[in-house]
Amino acid sequence: MRGYNVVMHEASPRELRRLYLLARMFGVQRSYWSIFGERISASRDALLATLRALGAPVDGMSSVEEAIYERRRCYWQRLCDPVHVSWDGQGGEIVLRLPTPLLDRPLLCQMLSEDGTVDVWEVLPRDLPVHREIDLAGSLFSARTLRLPECRALGYHRLLLESGQRVDECLLIAAPSRVPSTAGRREWGVFLPLYALHSERSLGIGDLTDFEELLRWVVTLGGDTVGTLPLLPVYLGEPYQPSPYSSASRLFWNELYIDPETAPELPQSSEAQALLSSMEFRQRVAELNRANCVPYREVATLRRRILGLLADSFFCKESAQNERHAEYQVFLKEHPLVAEYAAFRATMESERGAWPTWPEQRQRGELQPDGGNPSAARTYVYAQWLAHRQMDRVAATAESSGASLYLDLPIGVPYDSFDVWHERELFAGASTGAPPDTFFIGGQDWGFPPPHPDVMRQQGYRYLIDSLRHHLQFARRLRVDHIMGCARLFWIPASFDAQQGVYVRYRAEEIFAILCLEAHRHGAMIVGEDLGTVPNRVRRAIEQHGMRRMYALQTELTENYEHALPEPPQPSLACLNTHDMPPFAAYLEAADIEDLLNLGHMDADRAGHERYQRGARVQALIHFLRSHGWLPGESTDAASLVSACLAWLAAGPASSVIVNLEDLWQETQPQNVPGTTTERANWQRRARYSLEELKSDPKVHEQLEAINLLRGAIRGCRGEDDSTNE
């Protein structure tokens, strides 16, 4: 177990109690309730391994007592916690921790507000209310309660505390208690992965111009939201990780989605123009566009050639003084990590591998400014600037038409990502995943190192804030993947499997405060992806802070004929399914169950049970829709059921309804089969129809227009009620 020579012995009840105490001090849960209603207790070995990953000095049961003392000592050595939340600027109280000799010394307090104002005051700790007192190995400490003044403005403020030679700092998050209200709005929109979207002008893959055109079309139909999967960069060389949820970073954009034909440098680059218009290039593009699945590497090679020529044109001496270069310098100043990211990606190409395989010096972060590959570094930094400008253009189109981009923030990044390389202190030596459930009896290991909860706080949540801002600068609707991670994550220690994972708690109040503050600053709505094993406190927090939870019809359906579909909550985003679920037509046929059986993720008995249950639920759905007037006639085919379910959702109370475009033509092939990699063509399949075909398809138009009418009709007769519900 990673450098420890561990000799285990049978632990006594007292030893186990002390281990559980240490686990609690580090936020490690000793047990959890499974999706099957069973209480699952963590093994002693898994608890010890998780504690080591969190930095506890334990190499066995014999060192637990010393680790408890060390944790307490570190806690009492700080004057205060590193982070405090002030809801709606009310100030609140923090707990001061001082050695008793300092109780009679004045404590200097300085509040450095984000706007530059400074408040200074002094208190005598002995005059403050006693919170707790402790004798720590002969040293007496006293915890006192300090009331903070109200904050004049929302934001991130610094509280400095000084007593004698001791100085500590606390990040004060003055956050609104709720995200911006969308009361009275009954939104609807569409969803499609950008890699799956394609048009007659596509260069092997959907791009941001295609995305913008999709947005314009949806707006003409009355919609106001267009969503897609994460638009973050992925690795297409070595390692090969095309999944949008295994991004190289949560701080940059995927250069594959740039439209090079709208780049301002194109008119100045005769070489790029010649390449784009050449017969060989157009023939290759036509071949790539005909493929059912996106041939990522070929597409990346093709687009890299164009971007390289455009970058050469931009950085040449003749254009060095034009207006675009002034804009570029502003971009670099506002995004200081871009150059380092470009050097990182260039180094990957030079070293022909991920950063854990690099020479030690480069692993530590000592890179050449151009990564040893000047052309690649220039292309990457230029591509990020171009992607930023094109994202800005799409967002402006959305804003001018009263619509919103709906983007997706993944839960984490893989071990070999730029973010882990750049923020090595932040990420722990374990993996993130999910416990066993109905479809994954062995649990799931997502391959992402979890962020260390203590380091997150010590860094003032810098990385989380930067990741949110990267998306919210353009998105007015943001889906937070696995929002349960605000409260706890399922850690899988090294050398353990997913069934042996352990939940580790995070400071949910602090993370929700950041979500509220950033949403407030950007005028955005937060959608919490709360599907799966969800602690009650997470759902309460989503509701308390005015966020939207997700209502996926396929997960809500029951076998009760009269109550087959519970009504979606008003502050929710309702849909038939998500990218991790089968399309609705495949769900009706139980095709996903057959696939999981063939993959070995489910045994025959479980598959039989699931088939029976699925059939019962589909029959209950048909009865429910027919009895409530949503399914006329005798038809029960997939097309009729899709239309009926979407109409039921559109007429319902959910704040937003999102339509997966592929359900409108009864697609049966999924975009992703969780738990598989090479076994299935995940994250690669193009939509069956092009954007032009979608826009001219009368059946697609008819269904979307029906949704718009239902949303508008309900809005017209229930608008006043809506304004009081969120």
What is the residue type of 260?
P
First to last CA, the chain: 50
The per-residue pLDDT for 603 is 86
Give the mean pLDDT of 482-496.
96
pLDDT for 723 beyond 70: no
Query: Which tens digits make up the pLDDT trace of 288-313?
Result: 999 999 999 999 999 999 999 999 99
User: How many Å apart are CA 497 and CA 490, to the nearest integer?
Assistant: 12
The per-residue pLDDT for 644 is 98
Q: Is 238 exposed, middle or buried (0-12, 13-18, 19+ CB in 10 A)?
A: middle
Q: What is the mean pLDDT of the chain?
A: 93
- With CA atoms as reference, report the closest residue to 527 among 510, 543, 549: 549
What domains lie within the chain, and their CATH numbers? 13-75 (no CATH), 89-175 (2.60.40), 187-722 (3.20.20.80)
Q: How confident is the model at residue 441 (pLDDT cuts 50, 70, 90)?
A: confident
- With CA atoms as reference, report the closest residue to 77 among 148, 121, 134: 134
pLDDT for 317 beyond 80: no
pLDDT for 412 beyond 80: yes
Residues 6+ away with beta carbon under 8 Å from 286: none
Query: Which tens digits make up the pLDDT trace of 348-381?
Result: 999 999 999 999 999 999 999 999 999 999 999 9
The larger pLDDT score, comparing residue 627 to residue 183, is at 627
3-class DSSP state for residue 567? coil
Angle between helices 296-315 and 279-290 (to 10 degrees): 140
The per-residue pLDDT for 724 is 34
At 521, which helix (H) or strand (E)?
helix 508-522
pLDDT for 183 beyond 90: no
pLDDT for 11 beyond 90: no
Least confident of 1-15, 159-173, 666-680, 700-714: 1-15
At 107, which helix (H) or strand (E)?
strand 107-112
Give the mean pLDDT of 563-588.
96
Angle, CA of 253, 255 and 259, to the nearest 5°? 115
Query: Which tens digits make up the pLDDT trace of 33-59?
Result: 888 889 999 999 999 999 999 999 999
Least confident of 76-80, 112-116, 436-440: 436-440
Q: How confident is the model at residue 184 (pLDDT cuts 50, 70, 90)?
A: confident
The per-residue pLDDT for 9 is 61
Q: What is the 3-state secondary structure (H, E, C) of 475-494?
A: CCEEEECCHHHHCEEEEEEC
Give the mean pLDDT of 441-469.
95
Q: Are 28 and 48 in contact (CB under 8 A)?
A: no
pLDDT for 224 beyond 90: yes
Q: How confident is the model at residue 722 (pLDDT cuts 50, 70, 90)?
A: very low
Query: Which tens digits make up the pLDDT trace of 225-251?
Result: 999 999 999 999 888 889 999 999 999
pLDDT for 278 beyond 80: yes
Q: What percent of the chain is modeled with pLDDT above 70?
A: 96
The larger pLDDT score, comparing residue 126 to residue 437, is at 126
DSSP string, 229-254: S-----EESSSEE--TTS-S-SSS--
Give the mean pLDDT of 306-321.
86
